[in-house]
Structure 1
Amino acid sequence: MPQEKPDLRSLSEPVRFKRALTLLLMTLLLPGSAQIAAGSKKAGRWAWRVLAGIVALVIFVIVLSLIWRAGAINLMVSPKTLRFIQILLILLAIGWAALFVDAYRLGRPLTLERNHRLTTSIIDGVLIVLVMSVLIWGSTIVSTQRDFVASVFGNGKKSEADKGRYNVLLLGGDSGADRIGTRPDSITLASIDANTGRTVLIGLPRNMARVPFPAGTALNKKFPDGFHWTDCAENCLLNGVYTYSAEHPALFPGDPNPGVTGTKQAVEAITGLKVNYHVLIDLAGFRDLLNAVGGITLDVGKRVPIGGIGGPIKGYIEPGANQHLDGYHALWFARSRAGATDYERMTRQKCVMTAMLNQLSPTTVLTKFQGIAKASKKVVNTDIPAGDLGTFTDLALDAKKLPVSSFSAVPPLIKTGNPDFALIKTKVAEAIGKSEALDKSSDDGDGKKTNAPSNSTTKKATTPVKPGKSSSTPSKPGNDVDDVASICKA
């Protein structure tokens, strides 16, 4: 590094002290500027080039997110991108610390009085620790994100939208020591418009009997008249398909997850919809996930027991508006069966899903990401590939602005002991058609769809759901609901 000009040595000591502090402040605000002003201009210019490159990358991502939000998210959650960012942050921490050390040297600490030299040294040390801590912490967050994406999403096979919709099977169940969701406690198909994110939740009761399977599948050949107890020794109801399939892997050669595959096939045959992906949630671990995000706020319409059905009732979730529930209480709100029907519980589960959709803001996810990622790795199993994460995040952000409608294949319309599967398919198609009718499609000249309310009824239906307004359900929920939030009221 070049030495200072001789005339700088003639400066008074207070001026030299201010100069030393200024060089440190310059390095904090604009790394490399101290070197440009008083040291190696070559080193300073390299620091500026790195800084300019980072600014250019940030601007590129911002512009990309405005033009193609899903693409920007996919880019930012790619394991390769995350690894690059992680290494970059570590290198930036080292490089910035080196610039602070050099700026301290350029301040000529040996020419300062003892107190001023001590002050300069402390400030320089604090700034180095501060900058390195922030960047290393950032690299830790990025590493957690990378591990989360790799652990939960992995490299599943991409599935294209079917007839303009993504259909995602949501399964919830208790896990054992080495398994997750052996017998699903909750079975819901989320049908999502691939353009608008508008969602229909299709609830299927776990005790649905005689469920069919698609023609040509091994399960169809095994149970040509539907899955029921005259043909097998298992609990031959819809939630038993998972167990039966998992225990008969020979029916699914080479399939690493026959339980999910069998359940997907049953749901496809019941609803007439192609199932693109599944999300399997461990309800026992779901409590930790809800705690990680700070809980959810629900309207509780009636007293909900904690426990019961095979065990004592340990307490109650009392009715009331805007009840904030932690993970423990929210889990029992979703799964409690004591004093209620399975169908009421299905509706409560939809209320929890809707509350999470509305209340989990990007800010919440970002600030509590490490806790969410840690819990999610234990809670969630899915075949959604990492490459589609941006697509579904994008759709979720759109869905937050729209009401969620639903259809439940439950009594009195559907008799679960002897279901009319043709009627179920018809009602599912009607629910989806009604949802899609809320969005008038028009061509903007580029082949893209734009959405507009079709009439006054639509305007009312598309009023955004207010966060925090979700919850309990009537004891006899309807089969068709245009807005799940409307039945989640105290």
Structure 2
Amino acid sequence: MLHDRTSSLGGAYVDPTSATARIQFRRALTLAAMTFVLPGSAQLVQGNKRVGRIAIRIWLALLALAAVFVLISLMDRQFLFGLATNASLLTLGRWLLVALALGWIALIVDAWRLGRPRELARPHLAISTVLHGALVAGTAAVLFFASHTMSVMNGFTDTVFASNTVSKPHDGRYNVLLMGTDSGNDRVGMRPDSINVASIDADTGKAVIIGLPRNLENVPFPKGSVMRQQFPNGFDCDGCYLNAVNTWANDHADLFTTKEPGIDATMGAVEQITGLKLNYYALVNMKGFSKLIDAVGGVRIHVRERTAIGGIGSPIRGYIEAGDQKLSGDKALWYARSRVENDDWSRMGRQKCVMNAMVRQLNPQKVIMNMQDIATSSSAMLHTSIPRQDLNVFMDLALKTKSQPIASVSLVPPVIYTGNPDYDKVRRLVSDAVGSSKRNPELQKAALVTAKLPTIEAQAEAKKKDPRKANRSANLDESC
């Protein structure tokens, strides 16, 4: 009889076997959802209650810790960055994430078991198995990637930020010497092709980039320094420009007691030129910089003038055309270093343009998704005296700087003539520029007028009047 196999409800017959299958399937899906939202809850209601309680307590403790971190980030971002760059905490966090991943995966697999897969209908079993498998794969991918990211960051900071000397702000500012150089088998010695000082307000993050020509002559040195003893009237030997200080000091390392005579001598010279006390330096290998740009997918730049690729000891092999461009690492490198059809002044402006574009366009998403490539390229690219202890300070300042205009001063002709520099004037221009960054934006523009360089139109007019003074100069505002 039908009544032996079915039951009646409102005159309609329902297959009890089918109803039971649907209930079992819903239970399996519910247990999966519970484990995903609150690990251990499936065990608490269906399995080992002791395991469930332990898992739930651990999960709630982690949520509470995350809430504390969010609160700290809202109140003191530097402190949070300090925790995020602490070597011991990164190592501990790495292994905690691995343990969390393994534990969570075990709970998901156990939730699948608690769903009684043998009792599920074949289609339901397939869906349940795929769902639990996806949860296992997703959980493992996220947590193991986070653990790997911590490991990469720990190794990177250990390698690059190895200094233990912390420098406090001078007059409320961090002044960092930025040097860019190309490495290669065909180059003798290391002469920085790009020399800039980033002066950053320690409170607001307002930054001024001061561009120093590599061919400044008669560079002064601090009193009592080895370089001052060797060159009391300035760096006045044959071919002795600012970018040669590093090479000369390294070639005469026996005269110095420091571990990095070339960099220390260059820092002393830059301090005398600008009147700024430097905190740290960062030496960038431009080939590594090229790899960094590739690691983040290129950089967007408004190219003001057609720029040659190649031509420095090799044939020109192409051009970067004027207009809005997304440059690869190789093209960005040539845009920053090419001078075959223009000059050093134009190149200085383009270098600051590339730096400014990278500051603006790098975001946390790009950094996280390309962490390994960024760390690899940055380790090969960057050598710096910034210690790990100060990383939290500069990470916080970077976010502040990113949201504000970056002022710029280029000490190039016709404002400053590199063959016979007026260093008193240089220091006045730097002082005015730095002082202006402490004031409001309306006053800042007015205060920078003495340090601002001629526009392209003004340069063309100057060329008509006196071709000898037609050295093209570039300011960040005009070249980008």
Instruction: Give me the TM-score of the superposition, normalised by structure 2.
Output: 0.86
2:135 aligns with 127
Matching of residues 193-204 of structure 1 within 5 Å: 193-204=201-212
1:4 aligns with none
SS at match of 2:242: coil
Residue 236 of structure 1 pairs with residue 227 of structure 2: no
8 Å contact kept, 1:175–1:181 = no
Match of 1:394 among 396, 403, 423: 396
8 Å contact kept, 1:74–1:390 = yes
Residue 91 of structure 1 pairs with residue 135 of structure 2: no
Residues 373 and 121 of structure 1, relative CA distance in 2, 3 Å threshold: same
Residues 305 and 413 of structure 1, relative CA distance in 2, 3 Å threshold: same
SS at match of 1:349: helix
Residues 431 and 126 of structure 1, relative CA distance in 2, 3 Å threshold: closer
Match of 1:375 among 374, 377, 381: 377
2:313 aligns with 310
Residue 248 of structure 1 pairs with residue 239 of structure 2: no
Matching of residues 469-488 of structure 1 within 5 Å: 484=476, 486-488=477-479
| 1:356-405, Cα deviation, whole Å (9 max, x unpaired) | 11111222222222221111111111111112112112111111222211
Counterpart CA distance in 2 for 1:473 and 1:345 is 14
Pair member with larger Rg: 2
2:271 aligns with 268
Larger % of helix: which?
2
Residues 364 and 133 of structure 1, relative CA distance in 2, 3 Å threshold: closer
SS at match of 1:239: helix
Letter in 2 for 1:75: L
2:466 aligns with none
Counterpart CA distance in 2 for 1:102 and 1:310 is 66
Counterpart CA distance in 2 for 1:458 and 1:418 is 29
Letter in 2 for 1:394: D
1:415 aligns with 417
Question: How many residues get paired?
Answer: 445
1:339 aligns with 341
Q: Which moved more, 1:282-291 or 1:105-114?
A: 105-114
Matching of residues 191-230 of structure 1 within 5 Å: 191-229=199-237
Counterpart CA distance in 2 for 1:180 and 1:212 is 24
Counterpart CA distance in 1 for 2:310 and 2:249 is 30
**What is the Cα deviation at residue 308 of structure 1?**
1.5
Counterpart CA distance in 1 for 2:62 and 2:179 is 42
8 Å contact kept, 1:296–1:324 = yes
**What is the Cα deviation at residue 107 of structure 1?**
2.3
Letter in 1 for 2:249: S
Q: Gaps spanning 5+ residues in structure 1: where?
A: 1-10, 439-452, 463-471
Counterpart CA distance in 2 for 1:346 and 1:250 is 33
8 Å contact kept, 1:165–1:191 = yes
**What is the Cα deviation at residue 126 of structure 1?**
3.5
8 Å contact kept, 1:347–1:477 = no
Q: Gaps spanning 5+ residues in structure 2: where?
A: 1-18, 449-454, 460-470
Residue 361 of structure 1 pairs with residue 352 of structure 2: no
Letter in 2 for 1:273: L
| 1:71-112, Cα deviation, whole Å (9 max, x unpaired) | 211211222221122111100111111212322232233444
Counterpart CA distance in 2 for 1:64 and 1:459 is 36
Counterpart CA distance in 1 for 2:377 and 2:402 is 23
Matching of residues 277-296 of structure 1 within 5 Å: 277-296=280-299
Counterpart CA distance in 2 for 1:391 and 1:181 is 33
SS at match of 2:305: coil
| 1:281-317, Cα deviation, whole Å (9 max, x unpaired) | 1012211111111111111121111112422111111
Letter in 1 for 2:294: N
SS at match of 2:26: helix
**What is the Cα deviation at residue 156 of structure 1?**
3.3
**What is the Cα deviation at residue 274 of structure 1?**
0.9
Letter in 1 for 2:295: A
Residues 478 and 318 of structure 1, relative CA distance in 2, 3 Å threshold: closer
Letter in 2 for 1:263: T
Match of 2:50 among 38, 42, 54: 42
Residues 250 and 107 of structure 1, relative CA distance in 2, 3 Å threshold: same
8 Å contact kept, 2:436–2:444 = no
Residue 406 of structure 1 pairs with residue 408 of structure 2: yes
Counterpart CA distance in 2 for 1:362 and 1:117 is 40
8 Å contact kept, 2:432–2:447 = no
**What is the Cα deviation at residue 346 of structure 1?**
0.7
Counterpart CA distance in 2 for 1:102 and 1:177 is 59
Counterpart CA distance in 1 for 2:41 and 2:163 is 44
**What is the Cα deviation at residue 200 of structure 1?**
1.0
Counterpart CA distance in 2 for 1:416 and 1:130 is 60
2:113 aligns with 105
8 Å contact kept, 1:174–1:181 = no
1:6 aligns with none
Match of 2:194 among 166, 186, 189: 186
**What is the Cα deviation at residue 206 of structure 1?**
0.6
Letter in 2 for 1:68: D
Match of 1:297 among 297, 300, 306: 300
Match of 1:15 among 20, 23, 32: 23
Match of 1:59 among 67, 72, 76: 67
8 Å contact kept, 1:24–1:103 = yes
SS at match of 2:141: helix
Aligned-pair identity in percent equals 45
Q: Which moved more, 1:266-275 or 1:355-364?
A: 355-364
8 Å contact kept, 2:165–2:387 = yes
| 1:7-65, Cα deviation, whole Å (9 max, x unpaired) | xxxx9344223322321221122111101111222211211111112112211111111
Counterpart CA distance in 1 for 2:355 and 2:398 is 12
Output the aligned Cα RMSD. 2.6
Counterpart CA distance in 1 for 2:167 and 2:305 is 41
SS at match of 1:436: coil
Q: Which moved more, 1:356-365 or 1:283-292?
A: 356-365
| 1:102-152, Cα deviation, whole Å (9 max, x unpaired) | 222322334444554455444433422332222112211221111111111
Letter in 2 for 1:432: V
8 Å contact kept, 2:349–2:473 = no
SS at match of 1:12: helix
8 Å contact kept, 2:433–2:447 = no
Counterpart CA distance in 2 for 1:394 and 1:488 is 28
1:446 aligns with none
